[in-house]
Amino acid sequence: MSTPSQLTTVSALGAVLLAGTAQAAPPRLVYGGGASSAARVLRDHFNCFVPLANGIYADTPGNPQNVTYPAGPNAACPNQGTANTVFAYEPVDPPATAIKAFTTVDPANLGSPANNNPVAYLDSTFDITATPYPQFQFVGTDVYLDAAEVNQAQATVGEAVFQIPLFFTPLALPVGQMQNVHLTTTDVCNLFSGSTNVSQRGDVFSKIVVRSDSNGASYVFSNFLAQNCPPSLGFNQTNGFPSTAPNWTAVFNLNGGNIALDPTNKSDAAANAIASTPGALGYVSVDYAYPIVPNSTAYPAYLNGRLPTLAYVRTRLETLTYPSTYDAATIGQQLNDSFVAPGGEGYPLGGFSFIDTYSCYSTSIANGIIGGPPQGKALLAVVKSAHTATFTGILNAAGYLQPPAAVIQLLESSGGPLNQSSGIQNSSCPQN
């Protein structure tokens, strides 16, 4: 769910350019992969730790393109990091491949890099020349792990695993070439079920744009519909609500299909289909719509009187009730279900993006695939810093937000991934 135009300049493969002396220590490599939607923001954050370097991305699988990055760090970073660490991240679609790679502890299951991906994932300077990567330390995803997936990962690696809410991504409901459109939850339920094409304000919508591919935005939005709409409209498990690939056609057929349905593949195609058609209505993460994309004519609608602004989303994040204890198997569902549930204050549409990690890193675990203590400590440092001021500017520029203080406290509590005794690379982990 991230901006094609604004964040392209931050899509560097984070790397440390050493002084060039023969005595310099080789860089520590940290390998990951996952959601293409989160890739640019993650890469931007990695680049706050390490100087920029040239790398390779692919605009289609198997079609590598050389890319040269800016000479300086992203302006949102208060300091450029100097740690001797390289973060390699392979963006992939759909979400299921990233989750499979994590639960099986096998980087080969990530599959091929995502189409039209501007985020570098190879760098010959540091001998990162091919995928699958030789190790796998973390996965980034905007679809949370369910209890079965957490249990599978723990059984495979023989260690506890964590899913960590790293940042929050609001969804917009943009309308093509029409500003100041007001929708209620009832309007949204009716329009996206195909039961009517007129809102209570009298605006005529020309078509409904949905995603035909498997993706995290569809999961978040289909969960909103499942929790907030009348059962008679068909937003249920039989029709794939919630899921990463809901059956929109089945719902439209059930309700008469009184408005055109336009299934599109990928976020940029959905945003373009909305922006180019007057009255088209769809759903995208905020970084694909106006004003995060300044020249876009996909204008977010008001939902129950609220726009997906930082202020309105923050209001909701800060007024929700959160779990009192951390449970890796349920934390994702608890957080996302709570945000889209009926009632409450602020803007109610969006979901968390997660970093999924293993608790201990040692070459004696999983035949060395997950690396050793240096990789675990480097990953822990990056995750912790994501909740500090360093990350605020990067997230806000994309329309995203940090987790509220209550969620960060939960992550730091006993049993949480950021707790010194129980968390990532904790004091009881085996050492090499």
49 and 147 fall within a common domain: yes
* Number of domains present in the structure of the chain: 2
**73-77, 184-188, 202-206, 296-300, range with the lowest pLDDT:** 73-77
Tell me the pTM: 0.89
99 and 236 fall within a common domain: no
3-class DSSP string for 381-394? HHHHHCCCHHHHHH
Distance CA 81, CA 74 (A): 11
Distance CA 428, CA 420 (A): 10
114 and 235 fall within a common domain: no
Supply the pLDDT for residue 17: 27
CATH number at residue 290: 3.40.190.10
- For residue 66, give the 3-state DSSP assignment: strand
- Please give the share of the chain, as a percent, with pLDDT higher than 90: 67
Q: Specify which residues 91 forms β-bridges with.
A: 34
Q: Each residue of 333-383: pLDDT tens digit? A: 999 999 999 999 999 999 999 999 999 999 999 999 999 999 999 899 889
178 and 136 fall within a common domain: no
Q: What does the DSSP assignment read for 126-183?
A: GTB-SSS-S---EEEESS---HHHHHHHHHHHSS-EEEEEEEEEEEE-EEET--S-EE
106 and 202 fall within a common domain: no
205 and 163 fall within a common domain: no
| Residue 196 in domain | yes
Q: Each residue of 161-195: pLDDT tens digit? A: 999 999 999 999 999 999 999 999 999 999 999 99
Domain ranges, residue 109: 8-168+350-412
Q: Which amino acid is at 93?
A: D
52 and 36 fall within a common domain: yes
